[in-house]
């Protein structure tokens, strides 16, 4: 709340500074004072502004890659300015980038679900590619929860290169996450269903409905997921949820939490317990501990079954080979996050005010010594809870997700408290901070109902600290009300100081989607192209297209009675050719190259009536096809205001009627 004390402290600070400065300095200090006073700003506000205000030309130190929720896209945001730099079109067509209107359609179509186009996605968990457990800035992966799809984005041009549809499952949620050298992109399932979209009545849940995790092999050379080297692991029909890969000491393992170990099937309309009650009936669910190194060997040894053409290690083999162990997790668990050294796993129970910290060393011992408290209903050994837990830290209400700093601090989002908790990791981390081990240090209120949080490089082997962003679900009263649909609120928190100083320093309304997780990478780890490497570059293959039109080769060529090929170039401020004449019913194969080499000299290209809309970045070539089935006279034009004579950058597409 703003009080008059705020104004007075601005004045006091101003007077203090003014007293020590030159006359010109004193005048500008008075100007600052006046401007602050006029807007009711406190000294804390001025300090926050000094930490975040980014004058023209200054670049951000970190870059956020944020999921876009059911917008199906990814957002790129600078830190500390909190400016939205770009959207990356992924599962949803996007006109500004020309994604899905002549270009990108084949990649989008690879994500079709049994031949049915689904031109949106529900993106939750972006994962940057890693080398030795650290972000390497090369690729970004993201899931679509609604249709169990995974997309690959190349960070040389920030464009989607591949979408794969999981052939086994309908939804995913425990992904994407990568193994420490991006050997695999992990996609855990969510709501159990029979394999491959088959029908089975709900009363056959226990027998027919399946849990799973899919290991997508990533080919870094090709920059694509290699579906032919990928496999899945069958799990009990729990609802596998968020997952994380082990690193350093726990490399070779992965961890998935789960809900609905009750196997609840809902049915409130038939007086059955509703899902929300049925799924949270038990005091504990199961953390899944999976040895993926071993699973890879089992897959390569061929101990798999084929489901819908995809290799799956069946649950009985999973158990026999010792690939999977469970251990209890308290009260509706959600996140599981591996500490930077890989030695502990932090699990938050949404209905438990504690986070539970598991020791990986204790897990290994319990597996070696078979310290089981029993087996689950499907025969999977359950590691004794007390034998594997290191600590339980009371952090507050509704804990969800945890991130890490470089100084032995962990941060957990508290959905119900609307706060971010800072607490201390124990053991080898104790030297980094002055507080005792495993203790809540501070809570910073956020606005409101935080889901995920992201710290700078906060889930790598070497977190940076400095900044943490609270990805809040609700903004309520923070901004001008944009009708009943309000933006979410990303709040930047300064975590550079130890102890209880952890202020919110910026609010960013995010009115373009409903993000979940986001990762924050040091900007200097990214090395994107400013123009495509050579003229005639095809971003879909990341290579020069031999068919790309070049200057002096522009033409309209009739191939046969029903096919016409167009070879076109674009440069400020004309397309060549400027007349394209075809006959009604012709198939038109249109190739166009932006031959510019200047940074940011992007041309757009649209053909009305035929739903063609491209963005051609410097050097880029694109090919699209359509049937000219509507005779008429259609101006095509450049949609990017590229030059003083941009309005003149046009031509006529003439479709002659056939007799
Ligand atoms: Cu907590 Cu889908 Cu990661 Cu949303 S999930 S918040
Ligand atoms: Cu090219 Cu406008």
Task: Reply yes or no on whether the pLDDT at 370 is more than 70.
Answer: yes
Q: What are phi and psi of 358, to 5 degrees?
A: -100, 145
pLDDT tier, 21 (very low <50, low <70, confident <90, very high otherwise): low
Location of structure tokens 């896209």: 73
Rounded CA gap, 482 and 401, in Å?
A: 29
Query: Is residue 452 in contact with ligand 1, taking CB distance under 6 Å?
Result: yes
| Atom number, ligand 2, closest to the C-alpha of residue 640 | 2
Compute CA distances 385 → 257, 329, 330, 360, 408, whole Å.
14, 8, 10, 13, 24
Residues with CB under 6 A from ligand 2: 603, 638, 640-642, 646, 649
pTM for the full model? 0.96
Atom index in ligand 2 nearest the CA of residue 637 equals 2
Arithmetic mean of pLDDT, 354-365: 98
Nearest ligand atom owner, CA of 449? 1
For ligand 1, the distance from its centroid to the CA atom of residue 69, given in whole angstroms, is: 9
d(CA 78, CA 65): 9
- Give the helix/strand (H/E) hosting 298: helix 292-300
| Ligand nearest the Cα atom of residue 144 | 1
173 lines ligand 1 (CB under 6 A): yes
* Residue 520, Ramachandran bin (φ over 0: left; ψ between -120 and 50: alpha; else beta): beta
Query: What are the pLDDT digits (tens) for 463-487?
Result: 999 999 999 999 999 999 999 999 9
- The pLDDT confidence band at residue 436, using thresholds 50, 70 and 90, is confident
Give which of 299, 291, 369, 288 is closest to 328, Cα–Cα: 288
Distance in angstroms (rounded) separating the CA atoms of residues 568 and 636 = 12
Q: Is 516 in the pocket of ligand 1 (CB under 6 A)?
A: yes
Percent of the chain with pLDDT over 70: 97
Name the β-bridge partners of 328. 286
Indicate which atom in ligand 1 lies nearest the CA of residue 401: 1
Pocket test for ligand 1, best of 334, 449, 490 (most atoms within 8 A of CB): 334
Spacing, Cα 646 to ligand 2 middle (Å): 5
**The pLDDT of residue 2:** 44
Q: What is the dihedral of CA 508, 511, 512, 513, to 10 degrees?
A: 90
Residue 638 CA: which ligand 2 atom is closest?
2
Q: Considering every ligand atom, which ligand is closest to the CA of 243? A: 1
pLDDT of residue 20: 55
| Omega before 502 within 30 of 0, i.e. cis | no
Tell the residue nearest (CA) to atom 6 of ligand 1: 451
> What residues does 557 pair with on adjacent strands?
565
- 166 pLDDT band, cuts 50/70/90, is very high
Average pLDDT, integer, range 191-218: 97
Beta-sheet strands, E only, within 179-282: 184-189, 211-219, 224-235, 239-245, 253-259
Question: What domains are defined for the chain?
Answer: 7-52 (no CATH), 62-525 (2.130.10.10), 537-656 (2.60.40.420)
Q: Tell me what the mean pLDDT of segment 152-163 comes to.
A: 98
Q: Which of 610, 619, 616, 615 is nearest to 587 (CA)?
A: 610
| Res 431: pLDDT | 74
pLDDT tens digits, one per residue of 48-82: 999 999 999 999 999 999 999 999 999 999 999 99
pLDDT of residue 15 exceeding 90, the answer is no
Is 350 close to ligand 1, i.e. is its CB under 6 Å away?
A: no
**Distance (Å, rounded) from C-alpha 606 to C-alpha 635?**
9
Whole-number pLDDT of residue 447: 98
Rounded distance between C-alpha atoms, residue 205 and residue 239, angstroms: 12
* Residue of minimum CA distance from atom 2 in ligand 1: 124
Reported as a pLDDT band with limits 50, 70 and 90, residue 5 is very low
Sheet holding 224-235, edge to edge: 172-178, 184-189, 211-219, 224-235, 310-313, 305-307
| Ligand 1 mutation pick, 472, 517, 518, 519, max ligand atoms within 8 A of CB | 517
Q: Residue 45 phi/psi, 5° resolution?
A: -65, -45
329-338, 519-528, 599-608, range with the lowest pLDDT: 329-338
Take atom 1 of ligand 2 and give the residue whose Cα is closest: 603
Ligand 2 center to residue 597 CA distance, Å? 14
> How far is 626 from 612, CA to CA, in rounded Å?
9
pLDDT digits (tens, 9 = 90+) for 481-535: 999 999 999 999 999 999 999 999 999 999 999 999 999 999 999 999 999 999 9
Of the candidates 132, 173, 76, the residue with the CA atom closest to the CA atom of residue 460: 132
Tokens of 470: 């609270």
**Number of the ligand closest to the Cα of 614:** 2
Dist. CA 543 → ligand 2 center (Å): 24
Measure Cα distances from 585 to 377, 564, 626, 629, 652 in Å. Answer: 63, 10, 10, 5, 17
- What's the pLDDT score for residue 429? 84
Rounded Cα gap, residues 463 and 403, in angstroms: 9
| Burial of 553 from C-beta contacts in 10 A (0-12 / 13-18 / 19+) | exposed
* Residues paired with 409 in a beta bridge: 424
Q: What is the mean pLDDT of residues 347-356?
A: 94
Please compute the mean of the pLDDT values over residues 216-240 and round it to a whole number: 98
Q: How far is CA 119 from CA 100, 111, 146, 187, 623, in A?
A: 9, 9, 11, 20, 21
**Chain-centroid distance, C-alpha 189:** 16
User: With a 6 A CB cut-off, is 451 part of the ligand 1 pocket?
Assistant: yes
CA of 96 to the centre of ligand 2 (A): 13
Which is it for strands 574-576 and 579-583: parallel, antiparallel or unpaired?
unpaired
Q: Are 133 and 206 in contact (CB under 8 A)?
A: no
Q: What percent of the chain has pLDDT over 90?
A: 93
**Nearest ligand, measured from the Cα of 241:** 1
Cα 315 to ligand 1 centre (Å)? 27
The protein residue whose alpha carbon is closest to atom 5 in ligand 1 is: 516
Of 2-11, 152-161, 366-375, 395-404, the least confident: 2-11
Ligand nearest to C-alpha 473: 1
DSSP class of residue 525 equals G
Q: Give the ranges where 21-144 is alpha helix by DSSP (H).
A: 23-39, 43-52, 105-110
| Tens digit of each residue's pLDDT (9 = 90 or more) over 104-129 | 999 999 999 999 999 999 999 999 99
pLDDT the model gives residue 428: 80
Please write the tens of the pLDDT for every residue from 605-635.
999 999 999 999 999 999 999 999 999 999 9
Buried b (16+ CB within 10 A) or exposed e, 429-448: beeebebebbebbbbbebbb
Do 155 and 137 form a contact (C-beta atoms < 8 A)?
Answer: yes
Ligand nearest to the CA of 337: 1
Q: How confident is the model at residue 659 (pLDDT cuts 50, 70, 90)?
A: confident
517 lines ligand 1 (CB under 6 A): yes
Q: How far is the CA of 615 from the centre of ligand 1 (A)?
A: 32
């Amino acid at each position: 709340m703003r009080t008059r004390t705020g104004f007075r402290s601005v004045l006091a600070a101003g007077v203090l500074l003014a007293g020590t400065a030159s006359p010109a300095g004193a005048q500008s200090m008075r100007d600052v004072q006046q401007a602050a006073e006029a807007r009711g700003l406190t000294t804390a506000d001025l300090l926050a502004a000094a930490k975040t205000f980014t004058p023209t030309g200054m670049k951000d130190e970190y870059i956020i890659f944020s999921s876009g929720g059911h917008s199906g896209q990814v957002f790129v945001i600078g830190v500390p300015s909190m400016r939205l730099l770009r959207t990356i079109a992924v599962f949803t067509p996007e006109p500004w980038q020309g994604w899905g209107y002549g270009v990108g359609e084949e990649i989008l179509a690879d994500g079709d679900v049994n031949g049915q186009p689904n031109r949106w996605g529900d993106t939750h968990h972006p994962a940057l590619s890693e080398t030795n457990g650290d972000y390497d800035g090369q690729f970004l992966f993201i899931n679509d929860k609604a249709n169990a799809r995974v997309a690959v984005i190349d960070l040389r041009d920030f464009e989607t290169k591949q979408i794969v549809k999981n052939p086994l499952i309908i939804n995913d949620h425990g992904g994407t996450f990568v193994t420490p050298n991006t050997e695999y992109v992990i996609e855990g399932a969510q709501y159990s269903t029979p394999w491959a979209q088959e029908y089975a009545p709900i009363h056959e849940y226990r027998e027919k409905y399946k849990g799973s995790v899919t290991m997508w092999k990533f080919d870094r050379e090709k920059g694509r997921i290699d579906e032919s080297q990928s496999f899945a692991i069958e799990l009990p029909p729990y609802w596998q949820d968020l997952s994380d890969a082990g690193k350093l000491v726990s490399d070779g393992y992965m961890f998935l939490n789960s809900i609905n170990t009750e196997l609840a099937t809902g049915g409130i309309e038939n007086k059955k317990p509703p899902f929300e009650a049925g799924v949270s009936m038990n005091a504990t669910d199961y953390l899944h501990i999976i040895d993926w190194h071993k699973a890879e060997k089992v897959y390569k040894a061929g101990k798999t079954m084929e489901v819908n053409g995809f290799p799956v290690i069946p649950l009985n083999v999973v158990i026999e080979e010792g690939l999977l162990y469970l251990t209890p997790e308290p009260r509706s668990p959600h996140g599981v996050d591996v500490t930077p050294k890989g030695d502990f796993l932090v699990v938050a129970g949404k209905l438990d005010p504690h986070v539970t910290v598991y020791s990986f060393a204790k897990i290994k011992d319990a597996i070696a010594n078979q310290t089981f408290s029993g087996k689950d209903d499907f025969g999977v050994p359950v590691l004794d809870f007390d034998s594997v837990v290191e600590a339980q830290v009371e952090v507050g209400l509704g804990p969800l997700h945890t991130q890490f700093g470089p100084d032995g601090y962990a941060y957990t989002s508290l959905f119900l408290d609307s706060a971010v908790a800072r607490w201390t990791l124990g053991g080898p981390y104790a030297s980094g901070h002055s507080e005792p081990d495993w203790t809540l240090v501070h809570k910073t209120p956020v606005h409101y109902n935080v889901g995920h949080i992201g710290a700078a490089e906060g889930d790598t082997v070497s977190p940076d600290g400095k900044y943490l962003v609270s990805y809040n679900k609700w903004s309520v009263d923070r901004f001008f009300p944009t009708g009943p649909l309000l933006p979410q609120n990303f709040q930047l928190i300064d975590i550079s100081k130890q102890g209880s100083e952890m202020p919110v320093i910026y609010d960013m309304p995010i009115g373009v989607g409903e993000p979940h997780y986001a990762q924050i990478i040091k900007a200097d780890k990214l090395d994107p192209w400013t123009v495509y490497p050579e003229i005639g570059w095809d971003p879909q293959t990341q290579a020069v297209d031999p068919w790309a039109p070049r200057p002096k080769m522009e033409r309209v060529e009739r191939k046969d009675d029903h096919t016409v090929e167009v070879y076109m170039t674009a440069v400020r401020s004309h397309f060549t050719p400027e007349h394209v004449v075809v006959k009604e019913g012709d198939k038109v194969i249109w190739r166009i190259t932006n031959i510019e080499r200047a940074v940011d000299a992007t041309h757009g290209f649209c053909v009305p009536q035929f739903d063609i809309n491209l963005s051609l970045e410097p050097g880029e070539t694109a090919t699209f096809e359509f049937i000219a089935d509507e005779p008429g006279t259609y101006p095509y034009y450049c949609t990017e205001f590229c030059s003083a004579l941009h309005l003149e950058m046009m031509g006529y597409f003439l479709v002659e009627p056939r007799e």
